[in-house]
Amino acid sequence: MSVAISHPSVAPFVQQAARAIFEQGQLDRFFTTVRDDPGNLAQRFLCGAGRLAGRDLRAQFQRRAVTEVPAEKIESHPWGELLRLATGAVDRDGLLTDFVWQRAENAFDRLVARKLHRGLTGVYGFEHSSRLTFERARSLGLRIAYDTPAPEPRFVQSVLEAELERFPELRTRYHSYTAKLEERRIAHRHAEWHCADVVIAASNYTRESFAHSGFDVGKVQVVPYGAPVAMARDHALSGGSPPDAPLTFLWAGTFGVRKGAHYLLEAWRAGNFGRRARLRVFGAVALPDRVLLPLPEGVELNGSVPRADLLAECRKCDALMFPTLCDGFGMVVTEAWSSGLPVITTSCAGAADLLEPGRNGLLVRAGDPDAIAESIAWCLTHRQELRTMREPALATAANWQWSNYRRTLAGALRSAHLFGPAP
């Protein structure tokens, strides 16, 4: 009795799902693409070539370390993903990168499908990288778990298209290019859904997006992502900006349309908050310059940083800004809470299932710059009340750790007979 799990990345939620299966003694293989393997000759060669070209590829590999399952359970097939990464380094508008991504993902799915065998009891796959794997699993009589981190794809498309219709200046060549491919990609994801015996969603928001689109959500199990280990209480509670310094807000993740970045900039400009506050942005910027520039006073763009560095930044700040328009969960929320950082977000973030407005953060209306501005103004005039939210924020993280996620996920998979028929 054993389960194969596959995903092209080694993101934390992927590794935690693999570990949940491993802890039950049921993990056959974890299939992935690029992972950190310092002893691998190909990786050593690529890192050496990178140094000659002035690129620190070693740091890129370290960000893909697998820490949650033993190395002997991992089977990596990196070349397609390496090609995508190399393309992304020189591709300015993302079109070629998307082309390579699509083919690399399909090739990975095809490879995993060929690796399945009748000695397995189940497969665990993720959205858009599992259709061929699931079809092969069905032919072998294996049970299928489908993990969908994002809301229903047509629902997501409608949210984004509404924004682009309202703000045509946000439309880029990349949006126009991928719009032509969207129907085929939606059909691909729907085919994966229909193959599955059980669907794992990280939030009620994700489950309801499928219900809204007419899917029978009876086979959906909601398993919220866990938080990192909570910071030591004294360390977390002593964080934040000094009383005589500007209030500091943190943004973590892609600074783009889907996350509501354009509404935050509109609110920041309208309130002229740069005189009294700072907004520190960590992550890739996906807004066009005509929306982004001139950058408002007090807004800092810092690029992407390793996760450990981001958690350190959380402690220095006063609140996380996450005014997303559509997010299946938003792990930056639980990461912020693990550092004692209150969160300002919307009901369109799956992690809002764990939000207690006025206690561990604030809830604002999605797509409403006035509501965002009001929340910022409240923080500026209620600094002590904002600081008192640090302890409940820390408690929220402590009360739902990755260990809770793994136990709940394992129970859902057992109930769906992925570990074999009930005794």
Nearest C-alpha neighbor of 287 from the set 162, 180, 170: 170
The predicted structure's pLDDT at residue 411: 97
Q: Domain coordinates of the chain in residue numbers?
A: 3-32+92-226+402-415, 233-399
pLDDT at 248 over 60: yes
Q: 298-326 pLDDT, tens per residue?
A: 999 998 888 788 888 998 999 999 999 99
Q: Which residues contact 115 (CB under 8 A, 6 or more apart)?
A: 4, 29, 31, 75
Determine the CATH number of domain 233-399.
3.40.50.2000
Determine the CATH number of domain 3-32+92-226+402-415.
3.40.50.2000
What are the phi and psi torsion angles at 168 (to 5°)? Answer: -60, -20
The predicted structure's pLDDT at residue 397: 96
pLDDT above 90 covers a percentage of the chain that reads: 76
Q: 331-369 pLDDT, tens per residue?
A: 999 999 999 999 999 999 999 999 999 999 999 999 999
pLDDT at 284 over 70: yes
Beta strands per DSSP E along 10-121: 27-32, 74-76
Bridge partners, residue 277, by sequence: 247
Q: 28-48 pLDDT, tens per residue?
A: 999 999 887 776 666 565 666
Tokens of 53: 């070209």
Residue given tokens 């360390």 in the structure block? 235
What CA–CA distance (Å, rounded) separates 328 from 385?
29
- Radius of gyration (Cα) for the chain, nearest Å? 22
The predicted structure's pLDDT at residue 132: 98
The predicted structure's pLDDT at residue 304: 85
The predicted structure's pLDDT at residue 83: 79
How many residues comprise the chain?
Answer: 423
Q: Which residues contact 358 (CB under 8 A, 6 or more apart)?
A: none
pLDDT at 62 over 70: no
Q: Which residues contact 293 (CB under 8 A, 6 or more apart)?
A: none
pLDDT at 244 over 80: yes
What CA–CA distance (Å, rounded) separates 348 from 365?
9
Average pLDDT over residues 247-268: 97
Output the pTM of the full model. Answer: 0.92
What CA–CA distance (Å, rounded) separates 278 from 298?
5
The predicted structure's pLDDT at residue 423: 59
Average pLDDT over residues 409-416: 97
H/E stretch holding 113: helix 95-115
The reply to whether 233-399 shares the fold of 3-32+92-226+402-415 is yes
Least confident range of 24-38, 48-62, 136-150, 198-212 = 48-62
Nearest C-alpha neighbor of 364 from the set 378, 354, 374: 374
Strand ranges across the sheet with 343-346? 299-301, 277-282, 247-252, 319-322, 343-346, 361-364
Average pLDDT over residues 154-179: 90
Residues 3 and 9: beta-carbon distance below 8 Å: no
The predicted structure's pLDDT at residue 310: 87
Average pLDDT over residues 197-225: 97
